[in-house]
Structure 1
């Protein structure tokens, strides 16, 4: 599939919209709290439903993607995200927005187990394809962190949801008009890949699951918490909220580029050789970030986000490399359900934990999570064991 085809473009836009909408609340809850007369730490638990459904809903979404077909599920994704974003804009209290965010999380759960397998199913260089897709997704976070904050402050927090919601509805129409339907659902296709030996498969899946948990905790804490982290700890350098928003946009935009580099490397070198150092280097950077403030924290944040985003493509790459396309949506869904199921609790407790322990302690905890992830990845089988899974020529 060409990167410039309508299918690839819309699938990459879908990744951007998925991440944009799922974190808008985290970057506008400061504005919403001011309007509703509450502390931002009181709003963070109401994000739990969205992140829980984003993870646990992936099991159902993955199964439906393999059995119903990925085309129809992507139409449902775009339409559902658009409608639920508009519903969120109508909310007027914490419980309403919590319920509406949970609904959005259910639709958001569709993209990763459906959109990414659909994108890579005919890719020649799947590493770079995943890298481009990851860049698109993380640019969605960058837009949410920068543009959404500005929109919320200038035009009201509701518009921060209305604008991406309308974009999603337009994409739904474009997807129906421009993307050809599948001839048959993935689960009905012939198997093209030789299965890994059971012992190796069990080991890989266990490591994949564990790193999904540690990686999701790090990813969700940083993407949801960086706004308040900078707001609290760069006061000596920046006072204007618009400048803080720009700092966040710069951090996430630069970090997103890491996925292009990592994608290229995945196509050329063994996954383990690239994955291990990227996760290990997160440990000292989180520890440094826990001790610095102002511009030093800004520079350090760019560094650790480069590594956090750089680690994202590996699990998808392992699934593409060793799992047959007939069941990739289900495997991806299971991985996301476990990872985001655990990390959603962490994000929901973000406000209370920061209020109780402070950001320095929480950054040290992230360093511990990264170290545990490094230990797990170090136990991945070597390429000799993994090479038994070979892809037959596409028919």
Structure 2
């Protein structure tokens, strides 16, 4: 029988999956259905999704403030209900302005999850590294599933169904979450009781740790966004020979290089996302400082090896840097949990989400400028420099916790 604690964590993971899934429905709908149905080009449709993405980031801080002042579980119920309802409304849009309004509302409710859900995960369980890693994998699954399921719903029904069906599912999770979270509050476990008095690991003065956190947030998100956005185009430039060889090996009647390149990119993303589990284990076992050292060393080595590579060698090294890129994801949340008090943690995660938005908005124009002038080899050198800055900064700003404190933090969780 599944324990109540496991049910609670599972529902939080489902929330992370849905959060990333809902925010990416529009991208597939705009590409596959609306541009033809409404007589607008893909580039003309994209601006209508911009307010939703902006709300997704900018409303994170007020969402965290409300959660800290009122109720985190209450905010999660609003998340499930609100994102589902707004998705259904978007599915009934009759023109681009109504669509944009629906997406804006979706962004407002989607902004709830990261500050609130992560505050719950890091505030309830002591093995925060592995919990954050598992939770992150669920979020990645939401990203990977959005295009696949949305495309399937468009083919089976319509683009409206691609918003309405997931919306109904989101609403359906509201009641289970309310019941489970209510029982959790009424019957707190010994593990939860221990967390409330848990003293954070001493990684140094709070201002230095937070400075390190926001440095990693800014540069790490530039690296993350640059690699995840650019990888399909990198593969299109450098893996065409490998794609043709695969087509020939599979005895395909016509060249399917675009499809094969898409599959190769998906395989890299799927395999690399599992690196978060390794990072989570390391964070719980040896702490943040040595984990950052290893993850950044992997990134730097792979980025510096990548220039000039083609086909199988490029594929192998790209898997290496994506392992490092995905592996860095739980680190910031872990440090935040060890530094910020549980009472103010949702607000801290909300502020971090806003910093992430600044980095994400910077990455796309940066890729464009660098690619036009120096190609992707120039981008790899820039990203290696970002990784080196994170490595050096983290080693300077973070203290190594005393051995005894570190041991207690591992075995008393």
* TM-score, with length taken from structure 2: 0.78
1:218 to 213, 220, 223: 223
The range that moved more, 371-380 or 230-239, is 230-239
Does the CA-based 8 Å contact 2:202-2:401 persist in structure 1? no
Does the CA-based 8 Å contact 1:12-1:137 persist in structure 2? yes
Shift of 1:207: 1.4
Cα 1:171–1:220 change in 2 (3 A) is farther
Q: How does 1:296-375 map to 2 (within 5 A)?
A: 296-347=313-364, 349=365, 360=376, 361-375=378-392
Corresponding residue for residue 6 of structure 2: 5
Shift of 1:212: 0.8
The range that moved more, 226-235 or 297-306, is 226-235
Corresponding residue for residue 59 of structure 2: 57
CA distance in 1 between counterparts of 2:71 and 2:347 reads 12
Cα 1:124–1:199 change in 2 (3 A) is closer
Secondary structure in structure 2 of the residue aligned to 1:382 = coil
Does the CA-based 8 Å contact 2:371-2:379 persist in structure 1? no
Corresponding residue for residue 133 of structure 1: 135
Does the CA-based 8 Å contact 1:145-1:227 persist in structure 2? no
Corresponding residue for residue 203 of structure 1: 208
Task: Structure 2 unaligned segments of length 5 or more: list them.
Answer: 187-194, 245-255
Corresponding residue for residue 81 of structure 2: 79
RMSD between superposed Cα atoms in Å: 3.9
Task: Structure 1 unaligned segments of length 5 or more: list them.
Answer: 185-189
Secondary structure in structure 2 of the residue aligned to 1:343 = helix
Corresponding residue for residue 122 of structure 1: 124
Shift of 1:266: 1.0
CA distance in 2 between counterparts of 1:182 and 1:288 reads 49
More helix, by proportion: 2
**Larger RCO (CA within 8 A; separation ≥ 6):** 1
Corresponding residue for residue 187 of structure 1: none
Cα 1:136–1:220 change in 2 (3 A) is same
Shift of 1:310: 0.8
Cα 1:170–1:274 change in 2 (3 A) is same
CA distance in 1 between counterparts of 2:90 and 2:306 reads 34
Shift of 1:232: 6.2
Cα 1:260–1:199 change in 2 (3 A) is closer
Cα 1:66–1:387 change in 2 (3 A) is farther
Corresponding residue for residue 104 of structure 2: 102
Shift of 1:54: 2.3
CA distance in 2 between counterparts of 1:155 and 1:264 reads 43
Cα 1:143–1:73 change in 2 (3 A) is same
The range that moved more, 349-358 or 83-92, is 349-358
Shift of 1:337: 1.4
Q: Select the structure of larger CA radius of gyration.
A: 2
* TM-score, with length taken from structure 1: 0.81
Does the CA-based 8 Å contact 1:46-1:95 persist in structure 2? yes
Shift of 1:67: 1.1
Shift of 1:15: 0.9
1:177 to 176, 179, 183: 179
Q: How does 1:147-296 map to 2 (within 5 A)?
A: 147-149=149-151, 151-152=153-154, 157-180=159-182, 192=197, 200-227=205-232, 230=235, 234-236=239-241, 237=243, 239=256, 243-286=260-303, 288-289=305-306, 291-292=308-309, 295-296=312-313
CA distance in 1 between counterparts of 2:45 and 2:374 reads 17
